[in-house]
Amino acid sequence: MARRSRPNDEPESIRAALVDLLTNFAAELKRSNLRAKVIALVPAFHKLRDLGCSLIPKAEAASARDRIIAYFRRYPRRVIDGDELMVVSGIAEWARRVRELRVQFGWLIYSGVTFHDIAEDAEAVENAQEMVSIEAALGVHPYKIKPDQYVLMRDEEDRRAAFRWNVLNEVRRKKVSVTEKIIEYFRRNVGEEITGEELKYLAKDKKEWARRVRELRTEHGWPIVTKNSGREDLAVGVYVLEEDRQAYEHDRAIPDPVRVAVLQRDGFKCVECGWNRSMLSRDDPRKMLELHHRQHHKDRGENTVDNLVTLCNVHHDKIHRRSSLH
């Protein structure tokens, strides 16, 4: 029954055909047979869908998924309604395509649901900062983004996401806690830019993923960095495990704003050797910057800017080896 437009139909000719169908429908409306009315309206539904599809030329995007991402890319960092995606995709299953785009194909598309997960944990200073960044990037507070709205946060495909997809599913199936899944996934993707959408998928949509990531960083000392915790170069909503090592026990539990203030004061480099991230190289054992308490935490050293210094991992290890001698 579905009579689809020919692929090369121009929007204008589809529109005209739709108007014809609706004009003819006037006669149908006057009749009493309900089923006849419904059946007569079906072609108009298809035409309307075709019209939506035709707005993005076929040469630019051949499939429904292509049209969805093409549409997002026209309006990066803008809040898009699910209904708009329904129009341009022309399919009922558009939400599934969006999920494929963000989880399997590595587009940094955030849904309102994910923004809400992050916002829910916003009493935590780290995520409150995240909220501020999101608001600055989008011009709208994340709380105001509805569950069926979406945002393309970065207009650039992450081609490695496809490689992560298998690992993501393997870890997701494990019968372990959300925290364990998250850290395993990070450790198998050291240095990779992981999105909140991946972590949410990993957690089987449990809201707790945002809080668990924060705990892994601040309480367990895993160097999971974000734009707001010292890696300005990252996009909002991206998480990276910098190295597969946990901070020394006494160097944990440093609030992100303090961390950032220390890094800024020290110019984002090791105070001993001047190493910074731009000097990262395969043959150099210096891989990351860490914070160290001048007066150790266990000796009542405080988590304050004055009591912390920035060190590369090599000098940090040196200091700890020295202090463990006595």
Interaction between residue 259 and Zn ion (CB under 5 A): no
- Which position has the token pair 């998480």? 239
Query: Of 226, 255, 258, which Cα lies nearest the Cα of 118?
Result: 226
Give the amino acid at 176.
V
Find the shortest distance in angstroms from Cβ 190 to Zn ion.
Answer: 20
Beta bridge partners of 309: 292
Count the residues of the shown chain that bind Zn ion, applying the rule CB under 5 A.
9
- DSSP for residue 142: G
User: Is 42 or 279 the residue whose CB approaches Zn ion more closely?
Assistant: 279
Contact 46, 3 (CB under 8 A): yes
Task: Decide: is 292 part of the binding site for Zn ion (CB under 5 A).
Answer: yes
| Binds Zn ion (CB under 5 A): choice among 98, 270, 288, 308 | 270
Query: Mask: binding to Zn ion, 197-236, rule CB under 5 A, as x and -?
Result: ----------------------------------------
Nearest to 263 by CA among 286, 231, 239, 285: 231
Cβ-based nearer residue to Zn ion, 7 or 274: 274
- Distance separating alpha carbons of residues 290 and 295, to the nearest angstrom: 15
Q: Which stretch binds Zn ion (CB under 5 A): 68-76, 120-128, 215-223, 285-293?
A: 285-293
> Which residue stretch of 37-45, 64-72, 242-250, 261-269 sits at the interface with Zn ion (rule: CB under 5 A)?
242-250
Q: Which of residues 273, 284, 302, 306 is near Zn ion by CB under 5 A?
A: 273
Q: Which residue has the tokens 């984002």?
A: 268
What's the CA gap between 228 and 270, in Å, rounded? 19
Q: Using CB under 5 A, which of the segments 106-114, 176-184, 232-240, 250-258 binds Zn ion?
A: 250-258
Choose between 170 and 306: whose C-beta lies nearer to Zn ion.
306
Q: Any contact of residue 272 with Zn ion (CB under 5 A)?
A: yes
Residue with Cβ nearer Zn ion (103 or 262): 262
SS3 (DSSP) at 256: helix
Closest CA to 277 of 290, 266, 268, 267: 268
**Window of 28-36, 182-190, 222-230, 288-296 that interacts with Zn ion by CB under 5 A:** 288-296
Does 248 bind Zn ion (CB under 5 A)? Our answer is: yes
Rule CB under 5 A: say whether 289 interacts with Zn ion.
Answer: no
> Quick check: 262 binds Zn ion (CB under 5 A)?
no
Q: Is 251 in the site for Zn ion (CB under 5 A)?
A: yes
- Rounded to a whole number of angstroms, the minimum distance from the CB of residue 230 to Zn ion is 16
Q: Which of 286, 282, 284, 276 is nearest to 313 (CA)?
A: 286
How is the beta sheet containing 238-241 ordered, strand by strand? Answer: 194-195, 238-241, 224-225
Q: How far apart are CA 197 and CA 232, in angstroms?
A: 20
Distance of alpha carbon 163 from alpha carbon 279, whole angstroms: 27
Q: Residues in the site for Zn ion, rule: CB under 5 A? A: 248, 251, 270, 272-273, 275, 292, 312, 315
